[in-house]
Structure formats: C-alpha cells, structure tokens
Amino acid sequence: MFYVSIFFQYMSQYVKTKLQYRTDLFVEFLSDLMFQGVNLIFILVVFGHTQLLNGWTRDEIIFIYGFFLIPFALFASFFNIWDFNERYIVRGEMDRVLTRPVHSLFQIVLERMELESLLGGITGLVVMGYAASRLHMTFHWYDAVLFVLFVLGGTFVYAGIFISLASISFWSDARSSIMPMMYNIGNYGRYPVDIYNRIIRYILTWILPFAFVGVYPAAYFLRKTEWYTYSFLTPVMGMVCFTLSVLLWNAGIKRYRGAGN
C-alpha cells in the first residue's frame, strides 16, 4: 500500500516536471509517434511481398508485432534502466538511493520512469485492431483477462532480463555496451520463432526468453493451438524472470562499492 502511494507521488512529480518543458514534451511526443510509424511501415513493406512466412500470414505477423508493442511499452516506461551503470554506479547516485527507506530497485524504477513510452502501447493496440479486423478474429470475455496476464508476463520477462543486466554492474565495472545488443535480440521475439533455427529458438525461449514477449502469447489469440503451452507459460516466465532478477539485484547491492569522492 505504501509502495502504491509512493508510486503515485513520483508519477505526479514526473508529470509536473514534464509539463515544465512544454516544447520538449511536444518534440518527444512527435518523435515517438514518428518512430512508431516508421516501425509500422517497415513491417508492411517487408510483408508486402511475402504473403506467407513459414505458415504465418502477413496479418498474423502484424498482429504479433502489435501485441509485442504493448509489453514493450510498459517495459520502456518503467524498467528502462539501460544507463544504470553510468548514472547510478559511476556517478555514485546509488549512495543517495541507499539512504532512503524504500527498496533500491523500486526507487530507481520510479526515478527512471518515462511515461511517454506508454504511447507505444496505443500504437500496439491500433496495430492489433487492424490485424484482428483483417483476420476476422473473435474473442471471448476471458480473453481480456488473459490479455492482461500475458502483457504483464511479457513486461516482466523484459524487465527481468534488463534488471539482471543492470545488476552485473555491481560485479564488474563493464560499460553498458551490451544493452543495445539486448534491444536487438529483444526484437527477435516479435517474429514467429519457428522461422529461426533450433538453437536460436531455444535461446529465445529459455535463456533470453524474449519469445514470451511477442510470439508465444500472441499465438494464443491467433488460436495456434500447437503453441498454447508456451502461451500459458508466459505469466509464469514473467514471474520467474523477475524474481530471479530481483534476487540477483539484492545480492549485487551487497557488493556495491560506491564511487569515490
């Protein structure tokens, strides 16, 4: 309860700060929108030529992409801590965080939130709607519940992976240069995994489970029964990933060396 109230406090401060820089806000909004647009065009161009990709139709792939955008937007809004090493370890900001009576990771999530990324979620819904209407998809009432569960699962998979990567900074002073690579790998999860070879599929399922952010949960709504097991594993994977990453983080905090001053 305390954490919820703190969350809203930080959020209202965030909004206030953003409103102070009106032009910034506008430019950001516009560039985000353009970024989403470019992504969409890319997908349409690529699948404009191939109507079938290993048994998946163009519209199905667009639907997966749309679904992927929603957990990704949630992740980008709250767990986008790719610059954790530079910002908190090298500059020693972690000192300040550790002198406050709130869990350190939660504080960092609050400080680093970027609510404008939620915009990507709306794009995702639009894309999904478009694909769903072309596929004449039908939904049950409980699909809404599953949708929320799957989206949260996917978000936590993403969050878990990136929190784990950030935790590595506690052990080594390596720069966050692997982060951009991770974003790239993350993108593989939005295409049907069976187009990749077995090793990559295995990695995307069990090692860096990005497939649980896009294709697996979306397969349920596309009624691809052969993937259902994976679809329903999504929330579990999210929980597991996130829990492991928090444990790793807590272990890392003990190793924090501080920055000299």
Binding region for another protein (CB under 8 A): 2, 5-6, 9-10, 13, 16-17, 20, 92-96, 98-103, 254-258, 260-261
24 vs 29, beta carbon nearer another protein: 24
Query: d(Cα 193, Cα 117) in Å, to the nearest integer?
Result: 26
13 vs 225, beta carbon nearer another protein: 13
Shortest distance in whole angstroms from residue 89 CB to another protein: 12
Query: d(Cα 183, Cα 116) in Å, to the nearest integer?
Result: 19
Shortest distance in whole angstroms from residue 39 CB to another protein: 30
94 vs 204, beta carbon nearer another protein: 94
User: Where does residue 54 fall: left (phi above 0), alpha (psi -120 to 50 degrees), or beta otherwise?
Assistant: left
23 vs 261, beta carbon nearer another protein: 261
Query: d(Cα 154, Cα 71) in Å, to the nearest integer?
Result: 6
Considering only CA atoms, which of 100, 63, 107 is closest in space to residue 81? 107
16 vs 49, beta carbon nearer another protein: 16
Query: d(Cα 164, Cα 211) in Å, to the nearest integer?
Result: 18
Shortest distance in whole angstroms from residue 104 CB to another protein: 8
**Pairing relation of β-strands 52-53 and 56-57?**
antiparallel
Shortest distance in whole angstroms from residue 103 CB to another protein: 7
Shortest distance in whole angstroms from residue 85 CB to another protein: 16
